[in-house]
Amino acid sequence: MRIKILFLALIVILSLPIVSAQTLACQYTTQTQREIYAQKLFNKENNEVIFVKNITDNYITKTPIRFGDFYIRNDHTGFTIYNSYITPIKLDISYYWNNRVGNKAGHVFDVPAGGSVVTDEWESIGSSPRINQESIEYTILENDFTYLKTEKEIITTDNCKTCLDKNCLNDGATCTIGTECGGGFCIENICNNKNEFFPGFTCKTDEVSCNNNLCVKKKSVEIGFKPICSEQECIYGAIDANGLCIETQTILEARTKLQMDKDNKIFFDNLQFLIIALVIIIVISIIGYHSIEYSKRKNLIEKQKLISAEIQKQKYEIEKMDDEISILREKNNKKESELKKLDDLKAKFEIKTYKLANYMSSEWERVNKPFPYELVGNRLVIVNPYWGGYYYFYKEGLDLKDYDKKTSVHRWIWKNAHGRWPKVGYDIHHIDGNKYNNDPSNLKEIERTEHLNLHKKKSY
């Protein structure tokens, strides 16, 4: 008997309509209202509402009708219709079996007050006909005891409250700002409805709670500054009468001693560094002085050799002219005027040789000094006699004989204008023959053999 009662209760529960209102997952809600149309069945005697169906959303909110006792016998199926109300109810019922749309049956039933009706044994198709709760549809009809009426109603719907265009966070949820939380407060990244920690929250071990709504670092406030809440925030855990962080006398004395030791160490370290630096500077100065003197002497000797060679060459020319003059004087057919011309020419060569010797001496002094050159952005260049007297980028401390060919100014300017170095076996030629005119328009890439032939022709 108890099992039968439980079974009937379960059938009643399953037969109740599913209402659209559902439990919301959000803690904070708002309500909205809207109009719907409801079909209602009334008792004619007392106008009591017996049945209600939301026509707008198509679901039943109140009904005295339920279905149960589904059965299958051979190839027939059926069920029982129960009416829990005090007046008869008229229904137009239709249903499907075996979940096939084409197998539909229907009938109009008058269900007595507080009673039930067993549906006829509808002959079905198939060997295993089945009807269940979900396959039944029905419409309430009027009878002598009831009447139908459609009414407009206002229904209220609960919705999740929105914060920043999203559902508001519940208390205890992780947050970044208070406007995300339904309660309005984000305390230590956890939502709450009060300006305090969410129940059960504790600060980290290296933090202390402040006013039950803020975690502050322990020993994080320097001397002379005021902590937010307590002396636990001060580095030395103590405050004065003004609430500023201070240090205890013991710590002060220890820190003073430590600072004195540190200052003494710094002083002696600096003194040692200065002594070592002074010795290094003296040694470098001595070595540098001797290196400069040696370089000067070496350069002077090289210059003297070059000038001496040029003077010897001029002397050879003078001696050669003396020989020619002697030969001419020995010849009787030469006139005195020709001899005078030769004497004058000799005098000019002697003057030229004298000037050349002076010029070479002063010119090499100028040549060996680097100077800024505008075509290369005022970088320092120098005339290198060991590489044809061309301009070369100045390398401080490097002997002119040791310069690399790639540091020549005219090759660099050509490379900068054409985006590459000259090809292997090619030279950069000065078109107008002036090796100091390094304008890009005066530079040309030619084969090395052709370049050498050009300069041989110019030397004759």
CATH number reported for the structural domain that contains residue 441 in this entry: 3.90.75
| Of 348, 387, 350, 394, nearest in space to 368 by CA | 394
Q: What is the pLDDT of residues 413-433, one digit of tens each?
A: 999 999 999 999 999 999 998
Residue with tokens 């013991």: 250
Q: From CA 143, how far away is CA 332, in angstroms rounded?
A: 172
Given this model, what pLDDT does residue 260 score?
Answer: 86
- Contacts with 339 (C-beta within 8 Å, 6 or more apart), sequence order: 325, 328, 329
**Considering the domain boundaries, does residue 25 fall inside one?**
no
Domain boundary among 300, 328, 360: 360
Q: From CA 19, how far away is CA 11, in angstroms rounded?
A: 17
Domain boundary among 360, 395, 415: 360
The phi, psi pair for 435, rounded to 5°, reads -65, -10
Tally of domains within the chain: 3
Given this model, what pLDDT does residue 1 score?
Answer: 43
**Considering the domain boundaries, does residue 72 fall inside one?**
yes
Asked if residue 121 lies in contact with residue 79, where contact means CB atoms within 8 angstroms, the answer is no
Q: Is the pLDDT of residue 459 over 70?
A: no
**Considering the domain boundaries, does residue 209 fall inside one?**
no
Given this model, what pLDDT does residue 215 score?
Answer: 92
353 lies in the same domain as 377? no
CATH code of the domain covering residue 148: 2.60.40
- E strands along 406-442, which residues? 426-430
Q: From CA 397, how far away is CA 382, in angstroms rounded?
A: 13
Q: Is the pLDDT of residue 326 over 80?
A: no
The whole domain housing 121 covers 34-155
* Higher pLDDT, residue 185 or 235: 185
Q: Within 331-408, where are the H helices?
A: 336-367
Domain boundary among 155, 174, 200: 155
**Considering the domain boundaries, does residue 189 fall inside one?**
no
Mean pLDDT of the chain: 82
Q: What is the pLDDT of residues 263-299, one digit of tens each?
A: 888 998 999 999 999 999 999 988 988 788 788 877 8
Pairing of strands 371-373, 245-246: unpaired
396 lies in the same domain as 426? yes
CA 211 to chain centre: 38
SS3 123: strand
Amino acid at 27: Q
**Considering the domain boundaries, does residue 316 fall inside one?**
yes
pTM for the complete prediction? Answer: 0.36
Burial (CB count within 10 angstroms: exposed 0-12, middle 13-18, buried 19+), residue 419: exposed
Q: How confident is the model at residue 159 (pLDDT cuts 50, 70, 90)?
A: confident
- Which helix or strand (DSSP H or E) is residue 238 part of? strand 238-239
| Of 170, 161, 238, nearest in space to 198 by CA | 170
Q: How confident is the model at residue 5 (pLDDT cuts 50, 70, 90)?
A: very low
| Of 342, 349, 344, 345, nearest in space to 328 by CA | 342
